[in-house]
A and B are shown apart, each in its own frame.
Chain A
Amino acid sequence: MTLSLLFYIISTLTIGSALLVVLNRNAVYSAVLLVFTFFNLSILYLLLEAYFLAVLEIIIYAGAIMVLFLFVIMLFNVGKEQVLPKIMSFQRAVSLFLLVIFFTGVSLFTIQGVQDLHQPAGSASIGNVTAIGEALFSKYLFPFEIASILLLVALIGTVYLAKRKI
C-alpha cells in the first residue's frame, strides 16, 4: 500500500523531471535535472528490491558520466540557445508519428493488465550482487568481455585523438 503510493509519487517525479530535461532551455539545468531523474530511477529500482542496480545507477550515471557531462557543458559555457535556421517540418512530422506509436504501445500494455508494475519480478535475488556477478561470469561471459574490449578501444581512441604526439 505504502509502496504503491511511493511508486506513483516517484514515477511522477521521474517523468516530470525527465520532461523538464528536454524542455529546459538551460543546458546546465538540464544536466542537474537529469541527475535528479537518475536518483528517482534508482529509487524505483529500490522498490523492485534491486538494491545493487539502484546503487550502480547512482555510481555510474549520476556519479561518473553526468559529472563529465556537466564539466563539458560548464566549460563550453553554452549561453543562449542557437535558433535553428529553418523549421524542420519533416523531422517534426516523423517525431510526432513515432511519439503516437510509442504511447499507443505503452497504453496497450497498460490496458492489457500489467497492474503490478512495481512488484519484484520473480525471485527477489535478481538485482543482487551475487546473482548479477554469477550471470556475468557464466552465462553472459562472452558479451561481458566484448563490452570491456569495446570500452578499451574507446579509451585508446580518446588518448590517440587527444594526444597525437606521444
Chain B
Amino acid sequence: MDLIDFIIICIKVVLVFAATMLAVMGMIYAERRISAFIQNRLGPNRVGPKGLFQPLADGLKFLMKEDIIPTAVNKPLYLLAPAMLLIPALMTFAVIPFGSSLTLFGRQISLQVANINIGVLYILALTSVGVYGIVLAGWSSNSKYPLLGGLRSSAQLISYELSMGLAIVAIVLMTGSLRLNDIVSSQQGHLFSWYVFKQPLAFLIFLIAVYAETNRLPFDLAEAEQELVGGYHTEYSSMKFAMFFMAEYANMITAAAFTVTLFFGGWDIPFVDEAAMGNWGALLSGIAFILKTAFFLFLYIWVRWTFPRFRYDQLMNLGWKVMLPLALLNIFITGGILTIIS
C-alpha cells in the first residue's frame, strides 16, 4: 500500500462519514415533514426554503441548551453511554458497498470503505455491541424509567438479533460468502436475481427484525412515551441527548443500506451492465443505491404512522415463537433446495 492508496482510503472514510451525517440531517427533516403530511399537518416549513434548514436549527438548539447532569447519576458511565452508542452506529457503514468501482487516473477505486471477507459478521458484531450504550445509559441514570427502558431495549435487541442473523444465514448459504461485495455481485443480471425474490421469507423476517433492532415503531417499547417518559435517554439533555438521536438515525440509515445490499441487489441496476459503462456506470450505481436506501428510509416513517405499538409480551412472543422458528425453517428449506440443485 503506497501513500496514494492511503489518501484514497482517508478520503473515502471522510466521505462516508459526512454522507452519513448529512443523511441523518435529511432523515430528521424527512421524518418531520412526512409525519406531518401523513397527519394532514404542514410540519416545519419556516427555516429556509420549505423548512430545509430545520435540522441545522435543531442542531444549534441542542448545542445551546444547558447540559444538565443529574446529581444521582453514575457520572463516568453516564458520560460514556452516548458515545458507546454513537461510535458503533457510525462504524457500521464502513463495509457496505455503495457503488461499483470508479477508474480515476488508471487507478481502480471501489466505492466502499473496507472490502473485508467477513462483512456480514462485522455488521452483526457492531449491532450487538450497540446494546451497551443503551443498557449503561439506562442504568447509570439511576432512575426508574430509564432503567426500564434500557432493560426493555436490550432484551428486545438480543431477541431479534437471533432472527436477523438466521435470516442472513439463508442469504449467506446461497452466496457462499460473507463478503458484501460477493452478495451484491451474485444478485446482478436481471431483476429476479435479487434475493428478495429468491428469499421472500428471509426478507420479511429480516425487515421485521431490523425495525426491532433500530427501536422503531411498532417496536419502540424502549422509549414508549406514554409509559416510560422517554426511555433510556430520559435523564439526558443537550448534546448528549442529540447523540442518542443521531445514533438512532445513523442506525436506521445503515440498516436500510444493509437491507438494500442483502435483498435488493445493493447498487445493482437490473438489466444494466454497470461495469461496461465505466465511470458513468459507477455514478449511476451510486445513485441507484441512494434511491433504494431512501425508499427504505421512507418505509420507516410510513410504518411508524401505520402500525400501533406492540405490547411487550406480544413483542417477545413474536420474536421467540414466530420469527425464530420461521427463520430456522427457512434455513432448512434453503439448505435442502441447495443440496438438491447441486
On A, residues with C-beta under 8 Å from B are: 28-29, 32, 35, 51-52, 55-56, 58-59, 62-64, 67, 70-71, 74, 128-129
Instruction: Say whether, besides A32-B77, A63-B125, A74 and B139 are in contact (CB < 8 Å).
Output: yes
Contacts of A129 in B (CB 8 A): 117-118, 178
Find out whether the CB atom of B121 lies under 8 angstroms from the CB atom of A67: no
On B, residues with C-beta under 8 Å from A are: 74, 76-77, 80, 116-118, 121-122, 124-126, 128-129, 131-132, 135-136, 139, 147, 151, 154, 158, 178
A114 to B53, CA, bound (A): 60
A100 to chain B, nearest CB (A): 34
Contacts of A58 in B (CB 8 A): 125-126, 128-129
Give A39's nearest chain B residue, CB to CB: B129
Find out whether the CB atom of B128 lies under 8 angstroms from the CB atom of A55: no
Could you name 19 residue pairs across A and B whose Cβ atoms are closer than 8 Å? Answer: A28-B74, A32-B136, A51-B116, A51-B117, A51-B118, A55-B125, A59-B121, A63-B124, A63-B125, A63-B128, A63-B131, A64-B128, A67-B154, A67-B158, A71-B154, A74-B139, A74-B147, A129-B117, A129-B118
A78 to B128, CA, bound (A): 25
Instruction: Say whether, besides A64-B128, A71-B135, A55 and B77 are in contact (CB < 8 Å).
Output: no
**Of A32, A55, A62, the contact of B118 (CB 8 Å cutoff):** A55
Instruction: Say whether, besides A59-B128, A71-B135, A64 and B158 are in contact (CB < 8 Å).
Output: yes
**SS class of chain B's interface: helix, strand, loop or mixed?**
helix
A84 to B124, CA, bound (A): 42
Given A67-B128, A67-B154, 16 extra CB contacts under 8 A? A28-B77, A32-B77, A51-B117, A52-B118, A55-B118, A55-B122, A59-B125, A62-B128, A63-B124, A63-B125, A64-B158, A67-B158, A70-B132, A71-B135, A71-B151, A129-B117
The 7 A-B pairs at the shortest CB distance, nearest first, are namely A63-B128, A58-B125, A55-B121, A59-B125, A74-B139, A55-B125, A51-B118
Contacts of B116 in A (CB 8 A): 51
A74 to B128, CA, bound (A): 19
Find out whether the CB atom of A67 lies under 8 angstroms from the CB atom of B132: yes
Find out whether the CB atom of B129 lies under 8 angstroms from the CB atom of A62: yes
A71 to B136, CA, bound (A): 10
B114 to chain A, nearest CB (A): 11
Find out whether the CB atom of A63 lies under 8 angstroms from the CB atom of B129: yes
Contacts of B178 in A (CB 8 A): 129
Find out whether the CB atom of A35 lies under 8 angstroms from the CB atom of B132: yes
